[in-house]
Amino acid sequence: MDETLIPAAPVNVAPQGPTASAWYGLLFLLATEAALFIYLLFSYFLLASQAPGQWPPDGVPEIQRPGANTVILLLSSATAWWSQRSIANGASGKLIVGLSLTLLLGCIFTGVQIWEWTHKSFSPASNAYGSLYFTITALHVAHVVIGLIVLACLIVWAALGRFSAKRHLHVLIGVTYWHFVDAVWIAVFTTFFLTPMLG
Amino acid sequence: MTNATQETVGGAEQADLARQWETSPGIRGWFSTVDHKEIGIRYLVTALIFLFIGGVEALVMRAQLAGPNLTLLSPEQYNQLFTMHGVTMVFLYALPMLSGFSNYLWPLLLGSRDMAFPRLNAFSYWVYLASGVFIYSTFWLGQAPNAGWFNYVPLAAREYDPGINIDVYALGLIFLGISTTAGAINFIVSLMRTRAPGMSINRMPILVWGTLTASVANLFAVPALSAACLLLWLDRQFGMHFFDPAGGGQPLLWQHLFWVFGHPWVYALVLPAMGIVSDALPTFCRRPLVGYTAVALATVTTMIVGFGVWVHHMFSTGLPGLSLSFFGAASMIIAIPSAVSVFAWIGTIWAGRPVFKTPFFYFAGFVLLFVIGGVSGFMTAAVPLDWQLTDTYFIVAHLHFVLLGINVFPVIGGLYYWFPKMTGRMPNEALGKLSFWVSFIGFNIAFLPMHLSGLRGMPRRIYTYPDHMGWNMANLLSTIGALIFAAGLLLTLYNLWYSRTRGAPAGPNPWDAATLEWSVPSPPPAYNFRRIPIVASRHPLWEDRLQDVHHRSVLDTDIALEDGRKTIATTVLDAEADAILRMPGDSVAPVMLSVALAIAFFSLLLNIWWLAGLAAVSGILVLAAWLAPVAPPTPAEERIRG
């Protein structure tokens, strides 16, 4: 029998943070979600590379509003990070403030996206570019909306006093998911708004 | 302490554990159980039912093809049958069957009390069942998917296939993908967290390696299929242009996305089955597997290379020659890790003292079929030969040799092998051997002649053929062989059904096998292990007679954890105990979430958008209740020692 396998000190019950099963579960969920977006962006580049005429068909898209919206989403990642750091120090009031700010910024991002969709000169059925643009951005917004629901649940649970400096695994998971949604947007934004500028 | 008091203490402990872990009886218990053994058996039974349905479809097609110019089936009926046969066998039988084995076996093999996410496990089963019902929902109306299991556009586009058929395919496979993904994540995290102390990665059974490799691959492969199906459904429902050249789309996009998924998937269908053989064959050779490390590495290598071979399904599409050379070479390289495993199995038989029980026959037969299917695969990896043979019966022969040879034969052998553990009864040996010979002979009569009909130019997926093409005899033989093969499988099902109640009592370890699942009673108690074992080698039950094993595993440790549902967590590589996991109890949330998803998918199919939205909202509510934070452990719980 190998005695080193069993530590002498009491081991952690229902571990929190990076040794919790749920944390690993989240990481693999994000891996498969990332793969989904990679395949969709692969589809964009495949169709772009095979396009017979100009790509995008209406020329390089206007970048100012989506660019500003990107800044809003990045800001929301900062507030999410701040709320997680607050609860790690036991400040549950700051946690609620931070989560609420994140929720607000996420709602603004979603509103701007909807405004963008309604002011495009093309529709999902116009051509392959339109199909790609609306499908990929809509799928991203669907992930943002799930993130907003997660944030709302976290705010309710925080208000009910379910989190402490020692036990706040749900906050870690919710905030990490939110960062992931941000990272996906960076990839989507780069694909649709920056790569066409390369000519 | 006297022996008598030890007995009493042990009895009280077992009663505590049983009370904590057993599912309550009745209908609520049936819907809410999260016991991995119950879920595993449900997976196995459901997959066997799909195997039966897919088999009947195949026999009807073989009857139609028994001779030239037969009219048993109309062309449209034939299209739906070959599509549903492929979809059923590839999606609803082959992987779920292996998930059934792994669900049942993993915690028992790894020395744990359950999977890492017991409720997610139940959820993945219910979604599998619901998606199977979904995919078959229009079959009875004569509106089943009808464009082949790989469903190429433009044939599958609305313009050429205006019915509901392809929408069922697209939504059904997205739905099934949720189950596959949930199951894959559960396997990976279970591997990382819920092994017994000492079950380091170089001591894990090969089945665990196989299922782990398949699960990691599924995480990266399934999204390609889900994306392809989503884009196809959007094309069909909302007039989008992903696959429509007139709108700037590309039909080849479908083929890329499908085969980026499809080729890793076929390895996911065989690697766990090869793991079954690597673990069970040595029991009947009375020695450990030859080349454990090489086989484990070959398993992982096969999958890594398997992500770089998808274009070999697309050699005839006009892609540039350089790309064809690359993918042809990669496809040939896969023969190397496959051969490593084959030689390891042959070496194990060669160096062992074989015991000729039923499972041994199925595993030995598998090795032969794998070699034949492997060689025909290696042949078609050569681009010029593939151009000649693609879409002929040669390919049909190849894919049935690999999928039946590497999946069905190990699976049947595995059923015979672990049946005593699951039921506590032995299968009938004489009937078992008879079932093998009937299956094996029938299989070869059915599929060997297809190589010939393919070489003589018979295309796949034709509903009939003219006389005087030189295909008559081969087709008649295939039909006769298919009937014999089906009889062999039915003998197995009858044997298992009969032995379930009337077989001889098995005892804990009827085959005198080496791994942990045989250290517990048959069938195992709800909590699996009364004490969490401490593992010191790959062969915990053979340590006394193996010369090169110097450490001894301890099965009767002092790790009881009888207070609440608990199991031990260990580190990823070395499996040192580092935490105690509180495991959730039975719950109806998984089945409720699955019902909500099923309603959502049926609503999308029928374009009832408000109901789809309502189902989504209900699903989110169930999920919020499921995932809500639970009370922290009490100070008394915190004092538990590892």
Which residues of A are less than 8 Å from B552 in CB distance?
A: 1
- Mind listing the pLDDT tens digit for each residue in B183-221? 999 999 999 999 999 999 999 999 999 999 999 999 999
Quickly count: other Cβ atoms within 10 Å of residue B72's Cβ: 14
* pLDDT for the residue B3: 46
A32 → closest Cβ in B223, B569, B579: B223
Q: Which of A11-15, B28-32, B194-198, B611-615 has the lowest mean pLDDT?
A: A11-15
- B568: three-class secondary structure by DSSP: strand
Per residue in A52-111, pLDDT (tens digit) is 889 999 999 999 999 999 999 999 999 999 999 999 999 999 999 999 999 999 999 999
Would you give the distance in Å from CA B326 to the centre of its chain? 30
Least confident of A10-19, B17-26, B246-255, B274-283: A10-19
Give tens-digit pLDDT for B559-606. Answer: 888 888 888 999 999 999 888 888 999 999 999 999 999 999 999 999
Q: Which residues of A touch B198 (CB under 8 A)?
A: 2, 5
Per DSSP bridges, beta strands A12-13 and B566-570 are: unpaired
> A14 pLDDT band (50/70/90 cuts)?
confident
CA distances B627 to A25, A153, A157, Å, are: 13, 10, 11
Residue B532 pLDDT: 92
Q: Is B26 left (phi over 0), alpha (psi -120 to 50) or beta?
A: left
pLDDT in tens, B223-271: 999 999 999 999 999 999 999 999 999 999 999 999 999 999 999 999 9
Which residue among A43, A52, A164 sits closest to B242, beta carbon to beta carbon?
A43
- The model's pLDDT over B116-136, given as tens digits with 9 standing for 90+, comes to 999 999 999 999 999 999 999
pLDDT at A4 over 80: no
- What per-residue confidence (pLDDT) applies to A9? 54
The answer to whether A143 touches A173, Cβ cutoff 8 Å, is no
Asked if A121 has any chain B CB less than 8 Å from its own CB, the reply is no
Chain B nearest-CA distance from A12, in A, is 5
Which amino acid does the sequence have at A141? V
Return the higher-pLDDT residue of A4 and A35. A35
d(CA B408, CA B447): 14
B620-642 pLDDT per residue, tens? 999 999 999 987 777 766 655 43
The per-residue pLDDT for B6 is 47
Closest partner residue to B240 among A2, A13, A131, by Cβ? A131
User: Could you give the CA distance from residue B1 to residue B588 in angstroms, rounded to a whole number?
Assistant: 44
Q: What is the mean pLDDT of chain B?
A: 94
Task: List, as ranges, residues 44-83 from A with C-beta within 8 Å of B.
Answer: 46-47, 50-52, 57
Mean pLDDT over residues A114-120, rounded? 95
Residues of A (152-171) whose Cβ lies below 8 Å from B: 153, 157, 162-164, 166-167, 169-170
- ipTM score: 0.95
Average the pLDDT over each of A4-13, B116-125, B141-150, B287-296 and give the range with the smallest value. A4-13
Q: What's the pTM value of the predicted model, to 2 decimals?
A: 0.95
Residue A193 has pLDDT above 90, yes or no: yes
What is the model's pLDDT at position B642?
A: 39
- The rounded distance, in Å, linking the Cα atoms of B266 and B197 is 33
Q: In chain A, which residues have their Cβ closer than 8 Å to the Cβ of B234?
A: 124, 131, 135
- Residue in chain A nearest B534 by alpha carbon: A1
Q: For residue A17, what pLDDT is reported?
A: 77
DSSP string, B14-79: HHHHHHHHSPPSHHHHHHH---HHHHHHHHHHHHHHHHHHHHHHHHHHHHHTSSTT--SS-HHHHH
Cα–Cα distances (Å) from A118 to A114, B231, B482, in that order, read 6, 21, 58
Contact between A124 and B224 using a beta-carbon 8 Å cutoff: no
Locus of tokens 């189950």: B179
Complete DSSP assignment for B151-181: T-TTTTSTTT--SSHHHHHHHHHHHHHHHHH
- What residues in B contact A6, CB-CB < 8 Å? 197, 534, 559, 577, 642
* pLDDT per residue as tens digits for the range B524-552: 999 999 999 999 999 999 998 888 778 88
Report chain B residues whose CB lies below 8 A from the CB of A132. Answer: 242
The beta-carbon neighbor of A47 closest among B249, B582, B629 is B249
Q: Residue B556: its pLDDT value, please?
A: 87
CA distance B384 to A134: 41
> Given pLDDT bands bounded at 50, 70 and 90, which one contains residue A6?
low
A12: pLDDT confidence band, cut at 50, 70 and 90? confident
Does residue B447 have a pLDDT over 60? yes
Which one has a higher pLDDT value, B92 or A14?
B92
Identify the closest residue of chain B to A15 by CA–CA distance.
B579
What residues of chain B lie within 8 A of the CB of A28, using their CB? 184-185, 188-189, 219
| Mean per-residue pLDDT, A45-56 | 92
> Distance, in angstroms, between B356 CA and closest chain A CA?
35
pLDDT tens, residue by residue, A122-132: 999 999 999 99
* Per-residue pLDDT, B10: 67
In this predicted structure, what is the pLDDT of residue A1? Answer: 44
For residue B307, give how far its alpha carbon lies from the nearest alpha carbon of chain A (Å). Answer: 13
Three-state secondary-structure class, residue B223 = helix
- A-chain CB neighbours of B554 within 8 Å are 1
